Amino acid sequence: MTDHGDERSRSARRTDSAGVRSRARGTLLGLACGDALGRPVEFRTPAAIEAEYGRVTEMLGDGTYGKPPGTVTDDTEMALCIARSLVERERFDGADVARRFLAWYDSGPFDIGLTTADSLALVREGTAWEDAGRRVWERRAEGENAGNGSVMRCVPYALAYRETPDRLAEVSRASSEITHADPRCTAGCALLNEVVRRLVRGEADTEGVVSDALSAIDGEDRVPDELWTRVAGLPAETDPETLGYSGYVLATLESGLYHGLTADSFEEAVVEAVNEGDDADTVGAVTGAVAGARFGVESIPDRWAETLEERGELLRLADRLLEIAPETT
Ligand SMILES: [Mg+2]
């Protein structure tokens, strides 16, 4: 290669690494923005949201939970636990993540899922982090055993493990199992993180990324049929009229991926998602992570980002997650 060629490839790498950094920052800040925009209208119907607010396009105070504008919920708080642990331990350490989840739970958060609370209560009593989620899952009935509480927090792993997809899938599943052991939840985390990993690396096209990610994580036939069927046609074959916005993990994944991958901008993606109400903060968080990974941090409106107390830490953590090179075996 000539010197000029070296120059060109160095410059291409610099450009690429700036893009990766922007998309990594967009992933974490996007998650928090979607969470905070959706928080005031969680549990509302679209009609009730329209009657009270018209259309939610700004960070609102009060509403559900009665908090100031830009207040994030468990989705962002638990993602922060994971990101801080990864940065400090420089690898996935399930016991450390579980300890941080428990410390957060013991701080008295205003929003926590039932499955998460039950699992962390077992951890507090001495159950190993590997077993807690499974024990809770085994005593829960179908219909209340596959919530979105692990999918909502999992994306920091996609930044740290962006070069090692097999290990990313493993840690995504293991981290889910601390609280959510249902195969739809564990595979859902692996799927979302594989999609985000591809978007952050700048390799993905929005049409093919979900089906490619599904194929990539489907080793040893571990993607449940129900998950495969529900998301394989995303986004082109999805009818937006059929999307759900509940706390069911597959509804959240489908809607978050759909809005994140089809909107023309970060803002449009998150606004469309949260105005559907129901589990608005979590669908907003997943949508925001996907759209932030796709469009980069510059696409996130300043008027939203500047309301977030956690903004500076989220950006610093995103940068640090790109620097660590976790174990690959
Ligand atoms: Mg929440």
Distance CA(326)–CA(82), nearest Å, equals: 14
Distance CA(311)–CA(217), nearest Å, equals: 32
Residue 282 C-alpha to ligand 1 middle, in angstroms? Answer: 6
Instruction: Give the pLDDT band of residue 15 (cuts 50, 70, 90).
Output: low
Question: pLDDT at residue 10 above 90?
Answer: no
Distance CA(289)–CA(286), nearest Å, equals: 5
Residue 9 C-alpha to ligand 1 middle, in angstroms? Answer: 43
**Does a structural domain hold residue 2?**
no
Residue 112 C-alpha to ligand 1 middle, in angstroms? Answer: 7
Residue 46 CA: distances (Å) to CA of 34, 62, 93, 287: 16, 18, 40, 17
Question: pLDDT at residue 8 above 60?
Answer: no
pLDDT tens for residues 112-157?
Answer: 999 999 999 999 999 999 999 999 999 999 988 999 999 999 999 9
Per-residue pLDDT, 2 = 44
Domains of the chain: total: 1
**Greatest pairwise CA separation for the chain in angstroms:** 65
For the purposes of burial, counting CB atoms within 10 Å of the CB of 144, is it exposed (0-12), middle (13-18) or buried (19 or more)? exposed
Range of lowest pLDDT (2-16, 25-39, 225-239): 2-16
Distance CA(202)–CA(57), nearest Å, equals: 28
Residue 54 C-alpha to ligand 1 middle, in angstroms? Answer: 22
Residue 248 C-alpha to ligand 1 middle, in angstroms? Answer: 13
Picking from 286, 247, 254, the residue whose alpha carbon sits closest to that of residue 270 is 286
Residue tagged 């075996």 (tokens): 329
Residue 285 C-alpha to ligand 1 middle, in angstroms? Answer: 8
The CATH number of residue 71's host domain is: 1.10.4080.10
pLDDT tens for residues 162-187?
Answer: 999 999 999 999 999 999 999 999 99
Instruction: Give the pLDDT band of residue 11 (cuts 50, 70, 90).
Output: low
Residue 145 C-alpha to ligand 1 middle, in angstroms? Answer: 17
**Does a structural domain hold residue 246?**
yes
Residue 62 C-alpha to ligand 1 middle, in angstroms? Answer: 15
**Does a structural domain hold residue 306?**
yes
- 16: tokens are 């690429």
Overall average pLDDT of the 57-82 stretch: 95
Mean pLDDT score of the chain: 94
Per-residue pLDDT, 16 = 79
Distance CA(135)–CA(130), nearest Å, equals: 10
Question: pLDDT at residue 62 above 70?
Answer: yes
Residue 279 C-alpha to ligand 1 middle, in angstroms? Answer: 8
**Does a structural domain hold residue 180?**
yes
Per-residue pLDDT, 64 = 84
**Does a structural domain hold residue 298?**
yes
Q: How many CA atoms lie within 13 A of 236 on its CB side?
A: 7
Residue 133 C-alpha to ligand 1 middle, in angstroms? Answer: 19
Residues 6+ apart with CB under 8 A from 52: 44
Binding-site residues from annotation: 73-75, 279, 281-282
Binding-site residues from annotation for Mg(2+): 73-75, 279, 281-282
Question: pLDDT at residue 12 above 90?
Answer: no
Instruction: Give the pLDDT band of residue 329 (cuts 50, 70, 90).
Output: very low
**Does a structural domain hold residue 329?**
no
Q: What is the distance in angstroms between the CA of the first residue and the CA of the last residue of the chain?
A: 34
Find out whether the peptide bond into 68 is cis, omega within 30 degrees of 0.
no
Instruction: Give the pLDDT band of residue 306 (cuts 50, 70, 90).
Output: very high
Question: pLDDT at residue 3 above 80?
Answer: no
Q: φ, ψ for residue 67 (rounded to 5)?
A: -120, 160
**Does a structural domain hold residue 30?**
yes
| 315: containing domain | 19-323
Distance CA(118)–CA(107), nearest Å, equals: 16
26 touches 297 (CB < 8 A): yes
Picking from 196, 146, 190, the residue whose alpha carbon sits closest to that of residue 171 is 190
**Does a structural domain hold residue 68?**
yes
Overall average pLDDT of the 237-241 stretch: 95
232 touches 195 (CB < 8 A): no
Question: pLDDT at residue 77 above 80?
Answer: yes
Model pTM score = 0.95
